[in-house]
Structure formats: C-alpha cells, structure tokens
Structure 1
Amino acid sequence: MQVAYRADNLFDAHLARHALEDAGIPAFVFGESLLGAGGELPLFGVLRVCVPDVALPDARAALQASGLLDGPQDPTFDGLPEAGLLPA
C-alpha cells in the first residue's frame, strides 16, 4: 500500500477515498480510529488514504482531476490586485 493522499480532517479523507473508488481504484483510510486519542497524539499526519502500489499513478491522476490535490485557496484575497498591507 502507498499513501496517495494525506488528509487534514476526516471529511477530506473520505472525499479522497470516494473519489478514488469512483475511479475504480480501491482505497483505504488509515488512522481514522486514532482521532479519538487527540490528547495523546499529534493531530496532524494521522489520516492517510492509501491505495495498492500499482494503482498509485492512477490514484494521483484521479485526485488531481477531482481537485483534491490543489492547494487551499484564501477567499479573503480573491480579486484583489495586490494584497500587500491594508489599513485596519
């Protein structure tokens, strides 16, 4: 198994898993049962969506096509010519 997607939260992990399964790629969410131990474990890097080794290139293509591999967008600065320093 190879990690195809590292999720920040459970919703993103399951979105990725469903996108992969819709593309015909078997996927499994690892770390889901560890979320209840948040006080004992770091809260980042726990959730991973894994696929079989041979399916990794197809999985990356499916995740890219679904928009899940795009970086987060900041809606605060959409449409502004330059963010720079703004008056308070």
Structure 2
Amino acid sequence: MQLMFRANNILEAHIVAGLLKSHDIDCHVGGHYLQGAVGDLPATDFAHVFVEQSKVNLAQSIINDYENNIL
C-alpha cells in the first residue's frame, strides 16, 4: 500500500477514506493509536490514508478534487 493522504486528524482521514471507498477504492487508515500517545502535545502527522498501488492514480485524482473543494 502507498501513502496517499496525510490528514490533519483521524476524523479527516476517515472522511477521505470513506470518499475513496465510495469510488470502490480499498484503503486503510493508519495512526489510530498514535493519537493517544501524544497527550497534551499538539498531534500532527499521524493520521494517514493508504491505497493499493493499482489504484494510486484514481485515488490521487479524487483526493485532489477533495482538497480543491470540488466534491
């Protein structure tokens, strides 16, 4: 699997994953358990969305649309 999206938080990672899954793209959200490890520190760069290599181009197009508020 390839890292496709670095989310601001775990909720955004699941939103993007849901969007990809709605387009029949299997994906994985990583970083769930890292969120609790940071305690009172600002949590950054722990929520990621991974996609199978064969769907990278399609996923990138969908993520670009999401980031540009097209969807």
Report the secondary structure of 2:48's partner residue: strand
Which protein shows a greater Rg? 1
Matched pairs, number = 69
Gaps of 5+ in 1: 72-88
Report the secondary structure of 2:49's partner residue: strand
Q: TM-score, normalised by structure 1?
A: 0.68
CA distance, structure 1, for counterparts of residue 42 and residue 31 of structure 2: 12
2:36 is matched with: 36
The AA in structure 2 aligned to 1:29 is V
The AA in structure 2 aligned to 1:28 is H
Percent identity among equivalent residues? 29
CA distance, structure 2, for counterparts of residue 8 and residue 32 of structure 1: 13
Q: How large is the Cα RMSD of the aligned pairs?
A: 2.0
| 1:53 Cα offset (Å) | 1.0
Report the secondary structure of 1:32's partner residue: coil
Bigger relative contact order (CA 8 A; separation at least 6): 2
